[in-house]
Structure 1
Amino acid sequence: MQGSFAWGTRSVPALVTVPLPPLQSRVEFVPSSRPGVRAGHGTEKARRAAQLTLRLCRERGLPRPAGGQLRVESAIPSGCGMGSSTADVIATIRAVGHCCSLRLTRGEVSELARRAETASDPLAFGCEPVLFAQRHARVLRHWPRAFPPVHLVGCRLPGGPVETLALDAQGYTPHERRECLRILHLLERCVGDGDARALGEAATRSALLNQTRLPKPALPELLAVSRETGGVGVQVAHSGTVCAVLLDARRPGAAHRAREARTALDSLGLERTVDMIWGGP
């Protein structure tokens, strides 16, 4: 879910993500006396994160190497809205910090990630539900309880990599900001009442709102699959091509309906992604 939300006297872009613990980035930092941070192709943001972390170590008077080598391994597809770059960056900050005995709060990790990426996901907070201003590294809302459990039946739509920063920079109209407020109220209800339908409606409204920014031609078909299989809504990557049908995991017959949704998505020729229960205690 993504939109524009109040932060003090202004509105800023913010999002709620769907962290997927099985999909991870692993980073090894090998310190070196040779100045500079070296990394493989496609890991420029992780390299910047390492440089920023080493600089912070210097500012705090901690012993640190002159440079080092990053080894990044990721199971997360890139460019499709699954947070691959933020996962690389967060893992890098933690790896370099561990090497230098640098202790960081989750907020400090998020700020370093923002400086490395310009906009980043709230992966430093793990699976805790937060409304996060991705361009300011600030938590606007922290929910004390988990979202109700939903079964995610995911797919990937056709299309190439998406430039996240270009999408994040687009402004929201007053009408769209009012819709974002309604979405936030639905999230409050879903946590307070443990209401999976409210979560599904919030995700669906956000997906529809996103159609003016990154249109997904298959969205009507995804909504039809959700209706026909008893889903509570759909979730989309607002800066990517991955989507999922959401089903209330606590409702009797949820596993059977998830299989029906998977069959329906397969019949549309959509590439499979996740198939798992997310949320809950």
Structure 2
Amino acid sequence: MFRGTAAAPGTCGELVQGTLQGEPFLINCPVDLWSEVSVELSQQGEARVSLDKSCRALRLTLQYLGLEYSNVSINRVSALPESKGMGSSTADIAATCLATARALGRELEPEVIAKIAAQIEPSDGQMYPGIMICNHLTGEPKKYLGQAPPLNVVIADPGGSVDTVLFNSRKDLASKNFQKEPMVKQAIELVTRGLLTEDWEMMGRGATISAQANQVVLPKPHLALWRQWASEMRALGVLVAHSGTVMGMILTPGKVDPREAAEFVRRRKPEWTVWHTSMISGGLR
């Protein structure tokens, strides 16, 4: 019996997502909410697997390593809700890949994990260290933008769900992304410059522009209200899951208590699910 464990962070949507000259990309936004996966491998006993995407990740990892085990077990403990745009599937898949390798005394580079993940579904890129621009359809890293800023995030889910695979197979997606490219270009410039110069207000402006641009692709009915509340909370900007349901607001520590901001939202929308957490650098542990 071989055992391995790994954990991957979730995301609060993305700082920016769209296309540039037709090529898809995102700037990830990892947060301090995790999925931990344990894998057991043996040649005897019964297979215990109920997580389809994680099972595919395990099999693809074994294939990459040139190994085969007839009986596998996958156990997951996750703080991430599914189909909300918080990177739950990517976290499960990435953690499974690394846990599988660790069960066999191996480690995997983020690029390898990202390529395996992209064979299963589009990836949020949180297997990469820091904050990264990546192609979420291929998993390919494009540019490292530095470590995550020391900022808090309030996340709200008004309800509903979005299937990532179905979303990315929409026939109108390319034309909608083309339509918003001018705003996305502005957003990526502001977020990139803000991260590289530690100008968090500039980064927040860019994230807000990307969130607004995405209204032509996947409208958030409450985005105008969310932006108004963010202004009242003196937030640096807002985030959205570009292919999910959640929205976030970025807060500077010491200026606004994230617990108070979360309670502010809960009082006004008690039917929403609300979290508060912090931005963190990506990478598995």
Deviation at 1:166, TM superposition (A): 2.8
CA distance in structure 1 between the partners assigned to 2:125 and 2:219 by the alignment: 24
Q: Please say if 1:53 is aligned against 2:61.
A: yes
Partner of 1:231: 235
Residues 88-144 of structure 1: CA deviation (Å, up to 9, x unaligned):
1111111111122333211011111111x2311212114x1101111111112211x
Residue 131 of structure 1, aligned match among 130, 133, 154: 133
Letter in 1 for 2:158: L
CA distance in structure 2 between the partners assigned to 1:269 and 1:155 by the alignment: 10
CA distance in structure 2 between the partners assigned to 1:78 and 1:149 by the alignment: 26
Question: What SS does structure 2 have at the residue aligned with 1:123?
Answer: coil
- TM-score when scaled to structure 1? 0.84
Deviation at 1:163, TM superposition (A): 1.1
Q: Please say if 1:253 is aligned against 2:263.
A: no
Partner of 2:34: 24
Deviation at 1:262, TM superposition (A): 2.8
Q: Please say if 1:274 is aligned against 2:278.
A: no
Identity among equivalent pairs (%): 26
CA distance in structure 2 between the partners assigned to 1:80 and 1:12 by the alignment: 24
Residues 241-271 of structure 1: CA deviation (Å, up to 9, x unaligned):
221222233xx6333xx45533431232153
Partner of 1:74: 78
Gaps of 5+ in 1: none
Partner of 2:7: none
Equivalent pair of 2:218/2:242 in contact (CA under 8 Å): yes
Residues 211-252 of structure 1: CA deviation (Å, up to 9, x unaligned):
122211111111111112212221111122221222233xx6
Deviation at 1:64, TM superposition (A): 4.5
Letter in 2 for 1:4: G
CA separation of 1:188 and 1:180: change in aligned 2, threshold 3 A: same
Aligned Cα root-mean-square deviation (Å):
2.4
Equivalent pair of 2:265/2:274 in contact (CA under 8 Å): no
CA separation of 1:151 and 1:31: change in aligned 2, threshold 3 A: closer
Moved more, 180-189 or 30-39: 30-39
Larger radius of gyration: 1
Letter in 2 for 1:134: H
Question: What SS does structure 1 have at the residue aligned with 2:30?
Answer: coil
Partner of 2:99: 95
CA separation of 1:277 and 1:4: change in aligned 2, threshold 3 A: closer
Residue 11 of structure 1, aligned match among 15, 22, 30: 22
Residue 207 of structure 1, aligned match among 204, 211, 220: 211
CA separation of 1:192 and 1:17: change in aligned 2, threshold 3 A: closer
Question: What SS does structure 1 have at the residue aligned with 2:22?
Answer: strand
Residues 179-235 of structure 1: CA deviation (Å, up to 9, x unaligned):
211111101221232111111111111111111222111111111111122122211
Partner of 1:264: 264
CA separation of 1:14 and 1:92: change in aligned 2, threshold 3 A: same
Deviation at 1:46, TM superposition (A): 0.5
Question: What SS does structure 1 have at the residue aligned with 2:29?
Answer: coil
CA distance in structure 2 between the partners assigned to 1:80 and 1:3 by the alignment: 16
CA separation of 1:176 and 1:274: change in aligned 2, threshold 3 A: same
CA distance in structure 1 between the partners assigned to 2:201 and 2:211 by the alignment: 15
In the alignment of these two chains, the number of paired residues is: 262
CA distance in structure 1 between the partners assigned to 2:234 and 2:76 by the alignment: 40
Gaps of 5+ in 2: 1-14
Partner of 1:148: 149
